[in-house]
Structure formats: C-alpha cells, structure tokens
Amino acid sequence: METKVNITEEKLRALETVEVIVETEAQAGMSGISISGGGKDGLFISDVLKDSPAAKNLPLQEGDQIISARVYFENIKYEDALKILQYAEHYKVSYCLKRTVPSSDVTVSPSSGTVEVKSPRAKMPKMVSWAYRGSRSRETSHRIDFSVLD
C-alpha cells in the first residue's frame, strides 16, 4: 500500500505513533470479527477469529477503528437493499451512483484528460467508472476523473 503524504522522513521518525487509513478489497462473507464501542467513541475491532474468512483475507487487527463500510449493491435482493438503506437512514451516508447523461453534457479537457459533466451540483468530485460507446460494435470501460460543472 503506497500513499503520498506531505511529511519529511525526519519528522516521521520523530513521531511515536502514526495513524493510517487502511482500505481493504471488496470481499463477500467476511465473518469472523468482533466489534466493540459505538457512539461518540467510535466502533473498533475487538477480535479477529483465527482462521476465519476475515483473518485469511483482510488486513484487520484488534484495535482497528472502523471508519466506514461499503456495501455493494450488485446482484442484491430488493428486500436486503431496502433493509440496509432503512437501517442507515439515521446515519451519515454517501452514495456511488451510475447515471446516463447526454454526451453533449460531457466535455474532456485536452490538457489534463479529465472529464467534466454538467449535472446537478455534487459536493465533491470523485472517480467515476463509465462506459464509452465510441462505435456500435465496441464498448470499453474506463476509469476517469471528473468534476461537476455549475
């Protein structure tokens, strides 16, 4: 895992501890963890069961704070999605959405290669995965940066 940070090696070594954010790969059926805490104190992993799917497939450690969890809605049953969304309605939630827009609402910056999309205002630009249909016989997927125009 490599992340760019703005700190010198000397300053880093002077610190006793450093907080890092660890993002795991998407996995299904990751049972085998116990959690504790909640509320203002945060939610923490209190135990990772040895030889469990979580222990084998995720870099989890006792004491890790769970900042957020993503639930992917690919092939999810309607009832399950509804329950998840209902349980989450009292908490801070962000969504990853796919939307079809007219190609006239999309422009590509020649200098940076970023894509700008005219649409309802978003709070912050994110990465977007989209399908480019340049010809009728070929469809390729691209992962691109985009920003939203006013």
Quote the mean pLDDT of the chain: 74
Bridge partners (DSSP) of residue 132 are: 140
Cα atoms found within 13 Å of the Cα of residue 124, Cβ hemisphere only: 5
Q: 53: part of which helix (H) or strand (E)?
A: helix 53-57
Task: Look at residue 70 and tell me whether its pLDDT is greater than 80.
Answer: yes
pLDDT band of 85, cuts 50, 70, 90: very high
* Per-residue pLDDT, 119: 63
Contact of 55 with 47, CB cutoff 8 Å:
no
Q: What is the average per-residue pLDDT within 67-76?
A: 90
Task: Look at residue 133 and tell me whether its pLDDT is greater than 60.
Answer: no
* Range ranked top by mean pLDDT from 86-95, 97-106, 117-126: 86-95
Lowest mean pLDDT among 7-16, 37-46, 134-143: 134-143
Q: What is the average per-residue pLDDT within 62-71?
A: 89
CA angle, 45 then 19 then 92, to 5°: 60
Dump the DSSP string for 130-146.
EEEEEETTEEEEEEEEE
Q: For 134, list phi and psi in degrees, rounded to 5.
A: -75, -30
Each residue's pLDDT tens digit, 31-61: 888 999 999 999 999 999 998 888 888 888 8
Each residue's pLDDT tens digit, 13-31: 777 777 777 777 777 767 8
Q: What is the average per-residue pLDDT within 109-124?
A: 67
The two structure tokens encoding residue 39: 């509320």
**pLDDT higher at 142 or 117:** 117
